[in-house]
Structure 1
Amino acid sequence: MRLLLVLCFIIFFKYGAGQFQVPDALVEVFQPRGFRVSIPDQEGIKLFAFHGKINEEMNGREAGTFSRDITKAKNGRWTFDDPNTELKVGDVLYYWTYVDYFDGRHRRGYPNDDQEFVVEERLEKDTPRRKITTPAPEEVTDSSGCKSSVTRSSEQATCSGKLIFHDDFNSFDNNLWSPENKFAGSPDYEFVLYTSRRENLEVNDGHLKIRPVLSEDLFGKGFVYREKDLGANCTGVPGSQDCSQRANIYLILPPVASAQISTKNKFSFKFGKIEIRAKLPKGDWIYPELYLNPLNEPYGPDYASGQIRIAFLPGNEHLNKNLQGGCILGSSQAGRNYGMKTIKTDTGTWGDDFHVFTLIWKPDQITVSVDDRVYGNIYAPPRGFVSQFRNLELGDVERWRSGTPFAPFDKEMYATLGVGVGGHTFEDRSDGRKPWRNNDAKGQKKFYKARSHWRSTWTDASGLDVDYIKIWAL
């Protein structure tokens, strides 16, 4: 085993972990004793290893109390099974996993470090695993050569491989996109007023450009301490803070104006492949909004109905080497992080140049890649995402039980492109770099007062530049 671990480390450090990400493990604890740890099988996996301890943290990649190599998948999963150990509610399983993966040319090793699982319930051993069985339409090829697809657009069937949405941004197409005119709000509470002004939103030379600017540069000095009513042009909920806000002692108006456009009520789809070529913004507390959002919020408002992120990158210099993509399951940090995958660049930052960001959304899997490099796969646990509501600190997600195990990502979504600034998107820090704290009523004001620090990092590269967006049926 020691020789195997040494070889694994050599392979891992030689080749890196950019092209494959170890699937998150499913941990099942049984009564009166026994537990099981498994990952879904997928093409290319040649070996799965599990190393763990109970109620004692692992010392790096040590072998642990439990240490085993699994050389064969069974029933669609690579599974470590211990039938004798008794775990109690409240026990913590600390572990790391490892996968040998063959990409067609090289066999490489990939670890998934520093994992832990808190026992909250014990299952009956014979409890059947709930399998994702979203029915796909019968595969039929008609006389025109159209092969049916699981993809749906406006609940209509389409042909497999068909390009169902495409914009090269040679002009702003009002038949495809609607710009937002509203104050930002839940669940991210970004420090932004979204406008359709030319200073924020522009299409020229075949590119969509969205730029954040200080709101006082657009509306005059002292704007943040006044009142603003967007009137009939507001795209938010009439009569709400989406459309009208007034500053008070501690609450100010958004210090930043930006833009966001979407295909809501013009184009939506369920399952497909989406590709965006774009240059992401750089600058403190700026981030791109390349999202798929739920069309009708069938499982509830905010993140109760989920969000899929095609690409996400905080613009801060100390953060923008880490590109993320995946899905959001809730507004808590656990819900925000559970379905997100990360790839790090060793040279420059992800905002230095254009990249092609791709997301494949299937009935049982989400895959994210950049420039044809896959860096993450997200699967639902066999009993569905709803089974993780305690670990994810989610609220009422009982509506998810009415969907497939992949709920809430089993309903139609629409595309969103924009630029956000600040808000709850950034996790609170203890190093003093972040000038506000989430859930602080004075957070937006504290951000504004620190503008001499963050504004100096904003340059001509602080906008989002989109070359094209394409969506295909699976």
Structure 2
Amino acid sequence: MAAALTPQRSGTPESSPFADSNTPAMRANPFASPYTSRPVSTAGSSTGIRNAHLSQRYFHSRRVQKGEVEKPWLQKKDPREKWVTIIPLIGLGIGILLAGFLVYDGLRSVVNHKYCPVLAEDFSGGALNDRIWTKEVEVGGFGNGQFDMTTKSDENVFIKDGQLWIKPTLQDQKLIETNNVVDLLADGSCTSSVPTNCIVATNTTNGTIINPVKSGRINTKKGATIKYGRVEVKAKLPAGDWLWPAIWMMPVKETYGAWPRSGEIDIVESRGNNYTYAQGGNNIISSALHWGPDAANDAWWRTNVKRSALHTTYSKSYHTFGLEWSEKYLFTYVDTRLLQVLYTNFDEPLWQRGAFPLSNSNGTRLQDIWSQTGRDSTPFDQEFYLILNVAVGGTNGWFEDGKSGKPWVDHSPTAPRDFWNARDRWHSTWQNEGAMVVDSVKMWQQC
């Protein structure tokens, strides 16, 4: 009986007695140790260990002798390497020069004219100077359908702690809930020459009411006007739903005709609603110029700019709202002349810039009423006076219908009553009594 063949466990697959040309080669185990098992006979023998493993070492370390470390930086450098430093430095220098030029160009564009003081009012006297200021008294809504009647009462315009307050207040409830008439012509207090701006009534049958709010509006027409110059009003704007504060200017004379042919300068307007209001609340201000051949073709939208407050609102603290105006340009700013809101160059006739239609909606041909002066700044080339006021509501679109819970519709004949009926909702939002507080007013004439 032949002896059994015992397969060998070591050696290559080719050494196996079972290997033949038809048997695939065995692959090495990738997870096996690089060192084979040490024979028992070599245990304890350093020579045996060294001899067994000498051919299978994969790493050998030694102490690096002094002078053996390569030092390529001591070798001769490639002359092109210097450009690795030079090119970034050139780019940095160009960037600095460009930034410097932009700053210079911005400062150069702010022309420093010579100015003569016209008004410096800090309200330290405790009362308005009636040689300068006029309290406007009207009930007609000033063409905007405003819900406030302006009064000469100290309830709405007064000075407290050296600051001017323009504060809206609720109307006397009895004047609204029963048939009544307010006739400003009778007591001679009306400051408008238009009778409809002086008389208003409550009629419980048809739903019309006397203005549901009282407020203040003052101007400098009597004693402080400028034609080209500067204006700065330091003020804190009011916070509260449907309040409409404004610092603006109107022409002393309607040289080129009725509004807006003779122009209007809005230094700042805002809304008292909070930042969630769809059109922007007291976190946004706007500046605009109004100009055009008639009310339907007012080109204000061509010269209107908004600016948001940075992480705050314009009712949280005092800001300086300014205007600089010359024959060549007009711009408004906040706190500094470099932080501009609206900038308009008078470098072409405004009639040309307006691109007005040939005729109005009635088919009447529109006439160029400004270019005949030869001045590109017309109609902003006449004396203007300053106005400060806090309006409430209105039906001219300043508060859009259907936005953020507006409680009235502009074209409704009962809009003032609808507004009054919602007073429990909006009056409670008036912070600091809904007042615009003015710290100072300054005006200069270019001279």
Corresponding residue to 1:183 among 133, 139, 143: 139
Corresponding residue to 2:356 among 380, 390, 393: 390
Alignment of 1:164-179 (within 5 A): 164-170=118-124, 171-179=127-135
Does 1:377 find its partner at 2:343? yes
Q: How many Å apart are 1:247 and its aligned residue?
A: 3.0
Corresponding residue to 1:203 among 159, 178, 184: 159
Identify the residue that residue 150 of structure 2 maps to in structure 1. 194
Amino acid at match of 1:453: R
Over residues 152-178 of structure 1, what are the superposed CA-to-partner deviations in whole Å (9 max), with x where a residue is unaligned?
xxxxxxxx3221211111231111111
Alignment of 1:61-210 (within 5 A): 102-104=102-104, 160-170=114-124, 171-210=127-166
The SS at the match of 1:455 is helix
The SS at the match of 2:115 is coil
Q: 1:377 to 1:205 in 2, by over 3 A?
A: same
Alignment of 1:357-372 (within 5 A): 357-372=321-336
TM-score, structure 2 normalization = 0.65
The higher relative CO (CA closer than 8 Å, separation ≥ 6) is in: 2
Corresponding residue to 2:383 among 394, 398, 412: 412
Q: Which whole-Å CA distance do the structure 1 matches of 2:360 and 2:422 have between them?
A: 32
Q: 1:176 to 1:465 in 2, by over 3 A?
A: same
Q: Is the 8 A contact 2:133 2:223 kept in 1?
A: yes
Q: Which whole-Å CA distance do the structure 2 matches of 1:397 and 1:461 have between them?
A: 47
Q: How many Å apart are 1:392 and its aligned residue?
A: 13
Q: Which piece of structure 1 moves more, 317-326 or 182-191?
A: 182-191
Alignment of 1:227-266 (within 5 A): 227-230=181-184, 231-238=186-193, 240-248=195-203, 249-266=206-223
Which sections of structure 2, spanning at least 5 residues, go unmatched?
1-97, 107-111
Please provide the CA RMSD for this pair. 3.2
Which sections of structure 1, spanning at least 5 residues, go unmatched?
1-45, 47-100, 107-146, 150-159
Does 1:400 find its partner at 2:375? no
Does 1:272 find its partner at 2:229? yes
Amino acid at match of 2:141: G
Q: How many Å apart are 1:288 and its aligned residue?
A: 1.6
Q: How many Å apart are 1:225 and its aligned residue?
A: 4.9
Does 1:355 find its partner at 2:355? no
Corresponding residue to 2:398 among 396, 404, 426: 426
Q: Is the 8 A contact 1:224 1:253 kept in 2?
A: no
Q: Which whole-Å CA distance do the structure 2 matches of 1:444 and 1:175 have between them?
A: 35
The SS at the match of 1:102 is helix
TM-score, structure 1 normalization = 0.62
Say which structure is richer in helix.
2
Q: Which whole-Å CA distance do the structure 1 matches of 2:340 and 2:139 have between them?
A: 36
Q: Which whole-Å CA distance do the structure 1 matches of 2:133 and 2:120 have between them?
A: 12
Q: 1:365 to 1:401 in 2, by over 3 A?
A: same
Q: Which whole-Å CA distance do the structure 2 matches of 1:400 and 1:290 have between them?
A: 26
Amino acid at match of 2:152: S
Percent of aligned positions with the same letter in both sequences? 25
Does 1:454 find its partner at 2:409? no
Over residues 18-73 of structure 1, what are the superposed CA-to-partner deviations in whole Å (9 max), with x where a residue is unaligned?
xxxxxxxxxxxxxxxxxxxxxxxxxxxx9xxxxxxxxxxxxxxxxxxxxxxxxxxx
Q: Is the 8 A contact 1:334 1:393 kept in 2?
A: no
The SS at the match of 1:222 is helix
Q: How many Å apart are 1:245 and its aligned residue?
A: 1.6
Amino acid at match of 1:410: D
Q: Which whole-Å CA distance do the structure 2 matches of 1:392 and 1:453 have between them?
A: 47
Q: Which whole-Å CA distance do the structure 2 matches of 1:470 and 1:394 have between them?
A: 40
Identify the residue that residue 286 of structure 2 maps to in structure 1. 324
Over residues 112-162 of structure 1, what are the superposed CA-to-partner deviations in whole Å (9 max), with x where a residue is unaligned?
xxxxxxxxxxxxxxxxxxxxxxxxxxxxxxxxxxx9x7xxxxxxxxxx322
Alignment of 1:17-56 (within 5 A): none
Q: Is the 8 A contact 1:365 1:377 kept in 2?
A: yes
Q: How many Å apart are 1:105 and its aligned residue?
A: 10
Q: Which piece of structure 1 moves more, 305-314 or 238-247?
A: 238-247
Q: 1:449 to 1:232 in 2, by over 3 A?
A: same
Q: How many Å apart are 1:338 and its aligned residue?
A: 2.7
Identify the residue that residue 7 of structure 2 maps to in structure 1. none
Structure 1 runs (4+) deviating above 6 angstroms are: 391-395
Amino acid at match of 2:301: N
Structure possessing the higher radius of gyration over alpha carbons:
2
Identify the residue that residue 24 of structure 2 maps to in structure 1. none
Q: 1:387 to 1:216 in 2, by over 3 A?
A: same
Corresponding residue to 2:242 among 285, 307, 310: 285
Q: Is the 8 A contact 2:133 2:222 kept in 1?
A: no
Amino acid at match of 1:320: N
Identify the residue that residue 143 of structure 1 maps to in structure 2. none
Q: Which whole-Å CA distance do the structure 2 matches of 1:296 and 1:375 have between them?
A: 27
Does 1:468 find its partner at 2:440? yes
Amino acid at match of 2:233: I
Q: How many Å apart are 1:387 and its aligned residue?
A: 4.3
| Count of residues paired in the alignment | 325
Amino acid at match of 1:198: D
Q: How many Å apart are 1:467 and its aligned residue?
A: 0.8
Amino acid at match of 2:429: T
